[in-house]
């Protein structure tokens, strides 16, 4: 009995490490979901799917882009696209509470895509997701920087804050990521 328990534990550990090895570096780890006790397992949720990652802020001149980001998500989610919004106060424009951030996202703009709690996205304090995004492209220079990630976890395009969600170049990159799905 003890031997089978040890064997089961070893197999579980091996399968977990094999799963982590199959997961791209960009999607390693978890992030707390906005206004929830749940955590977002980045690999479990986004591996093998095209992904748009955006660092957001509630009180930025670019905040109305939430409306366009939601429209993109609605337009392409049936084709596998995922969107991940990561609020950040790195540029001093995020709400002081997650309640207020959630109100801006969910109530004011009707966001239905995944949103995390406020996270650092630039510099030494950046979370691993944004360190990897920066390594593959560049660190965000302001709120609403956009990263198009293919199904293999590679950044195929990045766009500055000034690029609107309906920009033809951003849409072309998203469609390229969608088309390249296995």
43 among known catalytic residues: no
Taking phi over 0 as left and psi of -120 to 50 as alpha, with beta for the rest, 18 belongs to alpha
Which token pair is 157?
A: 């395009």
Q: From the CB of residue 128, how many other CB atoms can be counted at a distance below 10 Å? A: 14
- Please say whether the beta carbons of 20 and 27 come within 8 A: no
Q: What is the dihedral of CA 74, 108, 155, 24, to 10 degrees?
A: -90
The tokens describing 116, both together, are 């995390």
Contact 166, 73 (CB under 8 A): no
Q: Of the residues 23, 43, 60, 105, which is catalytic? A: 60
Question: Which of the residues are catalytic?
Answer: 60
């Amino acid at each position: 009995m003890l031997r089978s328990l040890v064997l089961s534990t070893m197999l579980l550990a091996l399968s977990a490490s094999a799963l982590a090895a199959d997961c791209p570096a960009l999607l390693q780890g978890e992030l707390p979901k906005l206004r929830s006790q749940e955590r977002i397992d980045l690999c479990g949720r986004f591996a093998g799917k095209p992904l748009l990652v955006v660092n957001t802020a509630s009180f930025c001149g670019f905040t109305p882009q939430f409306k366009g980001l939601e429209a993109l998500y609605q337009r392409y989610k049936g084709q596998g696209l995922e969107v991940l919004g990561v609020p950040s106060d790195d540029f001093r424009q995020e709400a002081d509470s997650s309640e207020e951030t959630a109100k801006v996202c969910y109530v004011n703009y009707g966001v239905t895509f995944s949103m995390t709690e406020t996270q650092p996205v630039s510099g030494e304090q950046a979370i691993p997701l944004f360190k990897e995004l920066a390594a593959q492209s560049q660190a965000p220079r302001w709120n609403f920087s956009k990263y198009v990630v293919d199904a293999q976890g590679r950044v195929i395009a990045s766009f500055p804050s000034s690029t609107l969600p309906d920009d033809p170049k951003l849409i072309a990159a998203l469609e390229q990521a969608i088309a390249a799905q296995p």
